[in-house]
Each structure stands twice: as structure tokens, then as C-alpha cells.
């Protein structure tokens, strides 16, 4: 059985989002402070991974909408845990290229 998380609707948290396909760098600005990386799956499909802090469920919904508008197929969304209190106010946007 998968672990149960008690993420709050309005609190920040770390997330990992995987989509099929390539995300063009022009769209990175709409992804908040998410780190962007990519890899090839076992079947040679390019997978884009977004990972990092998200301020609240509204920001998560905005990121999901952006991915939908880009016609990228969602593979997974994983809540990785809470953002430490000292980092939730000073999130810096970093990207893996």
C-alpha cells in the first residue's frame, strides 16, 4: 500500500512531475521554481521531469494547466514532502539543462 501524506491545500510542498515529451525552454518561466531535466525511458521515449517546491495547490494547478496546454502526456505527480520553513519564503528558481 502506498504511503499516506497529509499535505495541506494551502501549504508549500516539494513535488515531482513527469510528462512524456520535451518541454521547450521558452516555457520554463511558467513553472515557478521547478527544476527541469529529461531522460530517455526504456522504450526510448523522452521524459521530462519537473521537481521542486510549489507554494500551494493553486500553483500546482497552474503548472498542470501549462503542461496540458503544451499537449504533454502526464505520467505521474508525486508529493515528496513539506518545504522546510526557512526555504518556503525564499525559493530560488534553478533549472537543470
pTM of the entire predicted model: 0.75
pLDDT attached to residue 5: 54
**Cα gap 29→80, rounded to integer Å:** 22
pLDDT attached to residue 89: 42
CB-CB contact of 2 with 61 (8 Å): no
pLDDT below 50 — which residues of the chain?
A: 88-97
CB-CB contact of 41 with 73 (8 Å): no
pLDDT attached to residue 95: 37
pLDDT attached to residue 60: 93
pLDDT attached to residue 6: 59
Amino acid at each position: 500500500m502506498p504511503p499516506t501524506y497529509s499535505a495541506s491545500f494551502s501549504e508549500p510542498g516539494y513535488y515531482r512531475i513527469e510528462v512524456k515529451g520535451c518541454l521547450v525552454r521558452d516555457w520554463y518561466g511558467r513553472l515557478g521554481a521547478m527544476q527541469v531535466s529529461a531522460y530517455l525511458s526504456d522504450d526510448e521515449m523522452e521524459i521530462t521531469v519537473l521537481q521542486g517546491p510549489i507554494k500551494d495547490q493553486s500553483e500546482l494547478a497552474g503548472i498542470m494547466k501549462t503542461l496540458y496546454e503544451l499537449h504533454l502526456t502526464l505520467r505521474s505527480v508525486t508529493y515528496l514532502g513539506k518545504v522546510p520553513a526557512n526555504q518556503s519564503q525564499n525559493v530560488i528558481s534553478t533549472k537543470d539543462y
